[in-house]
Structure 1
């Protein structure tokens, strides 16, 4: 037998009030952890392979210097690459492999490959060792040298391009590699807030009707995510 409408409304109000009261302490605690809002919990491994990669990501985060991106941006890279089913990701600026590990976490699920460029031999070697420890070295091609020159050798279509190298070179990287990015592919640029980005790059990805760009995490380093529409 159903409740009278007034009774149903009263029950609904009481339920919502109790739900709000129960969630208030949790929300307050979560906000206390991060002034920007609720912080997501650590990613959970869906397989032994993912568990191994995530353990190395955590180890690199805790023990090594020269992290190329914050954890939040690394997780964003993984989500973007996996969500578009990336088969070929190009990274400009390997550093010690932290961002590359997040990308390879996605590529381990999509079956894709990473081509990553680094000019510093020492950092390249550390990245190679990190990829090997994570069991993903077979999915990565590490190129040593000046990326402005070396990228001219790329021929394969690109699903996701991640630019995190010399900031004054972003526009040249875009001009050289955007033609290889497939329609529906992504161009992700790091440090769109700090240090200040090259305004020519910002203009190129926001004023061209072939692109659609949003800027994220701008209270931190900042990430520009550009969809190549055609």
Structure 2
């Protein structure tokens, strides 16, 4: 039996087309305008539908369906049963409080659950069949404004080494490293990056970082 395309090969081209779509729509907007659109006009389902669209009728969407949640696995946002593909999707945005301050829309535990699920699936032989996608508009100065990467609370916490392991496309600008000292390493884009986790010597988790400085949208694909 010959080799079949893996899930990351399908998702790589799909996500690049999505970036092109958003570039065509929003490339001329000021960052403040793009930020408003990102926070108010888009949600996770918008990204899920775009990711699943090329699979047509093969795709089954279960976003927001908590009935399948167990202690060991999270519900999968997109199932393509005919290929045994399962995809989890997260969209990064900010909530604005009554006082006018912005904060990450989800706690870190939500992302950790997805990473744990993917690692478990890979350990059970599903490498090439499972993926976790994170998407976000390139509308803030720092990635840490959209996701909690610090060891604690506050406006400038120290970056968590445990969390940073999941983002090999981020570069530390100082040591010790605060969350405000993390920038994108665009030289790492468009190629598979190993995700080297603390205490996980034999894991096989890889990541694609998709986007450049001028793109209005970025993706991280874990597989």
Give the alignment's TM-score, normalised by structure 1: 0.36
Task: Compare the two structures and name the one with the higher helix fraction.
Answer: 1
Larger Rg: 1
TM-score under structure 2 normalisation?
0.36
The structure showing larger relative contact order (alpha-carbon pairs under 8 Å, at least 6 residues apart) is: 2
